[in-house]
Amino acid sequence: MVLDVGKPFVVLLAFCSPPAVSRFQTWASTVTVPTPTCRCSSAPEMATSLCTSWRSTSLFAGLCLLCLARADWPACQEQNTVMRNAGRALFTNLQGFGATVGCFQDDCQNTDKFVASSIESCTKVCQSLPECEFWTWGQEEGEQKCWFRLGDDGREAGEGWISGGRSCYPPGQKAVVMGNNNCWVEGFNYDTCCDPKFGPSGNSQCWDGNFNYDRCCFPTDEL
- Predicted confidence at residue 82, as pLDDT, reads 97
Q: Give a yes or no: residue 175 inside a domain.
A: no
Do 159 and 192 belong to one domain? Answer: no
What pTM value is reported for the model? 0.69
Q: Give a yes or no: residue 172 inside a domain.
A: no
Alpha-carbon distance 71 to 77, whole Å? 9
Do 127 and 194 belong to one domain? Answer: no
Q: Give a yes or no: residue 150 inside a domain.
A: yes
Do 88 and 161 belong to one domain? Answer: yes
Q: Give a yes or no: residue 197 inside a domain.
A: yes
Q: Tell me the residue range of the domain where 203 lies.
A: 181-216
- Predicted confidence at residue 67, as pLDDT, reads 55
Do 124 and 49 belong to one domain? Answer: no
CATH number at residue 85: 3.50.4
- How many domains would you assign to the chain? 3
Do 135 and 189 belong to one domain? Answer: no
Give the end of a domain, one of 76, 99, 131: 76
Do 67 and 15 belong to one domain? Answer: yes
Give the end of a domain, one of 76, 101, 116: 76
Three-class SS string for 6-52? CCCCCCCCCCCCHHHHHHHHHHHCCCCCCCCCEECCCCHHHHHHHHH
pLDDT tens, per residue, the chain with 223 residues: 344 443 333 333 334 444 454 555 554 444 444 333 333 433 444 444 444 444 444 555 555 555 555 578 999 999 999 999 999 999 999 999 999 999 999 999 999 999 999 999 999 999 999 999 999 999 999 999 999 999 999 999 999 999 999 999 999 999 999 999 999 998 999 999 999 999 999 999 999 989 999 999 999 888 7
Do 122 and 56 belong to one domain? Answer: no
Do 46 and 110 belong to one domain? Answer: no
| Integer angstrom CA distances of residue 8 from 11, 28, 152, 175 | 10, 6, 27, 38
Give the end of a domain, one of 76, 96, 116: 76
Do 71 and 88 belong to one domain? Answer: no
Do 67 and 91 belong to one domain? Answer: no
Do 134 and 102 belong to one domain? Answer: yes
Q: Give a yes or no: residue 170 inside a domain.
A: no
Do 159 and 85 belong to one domain? Answer: yes
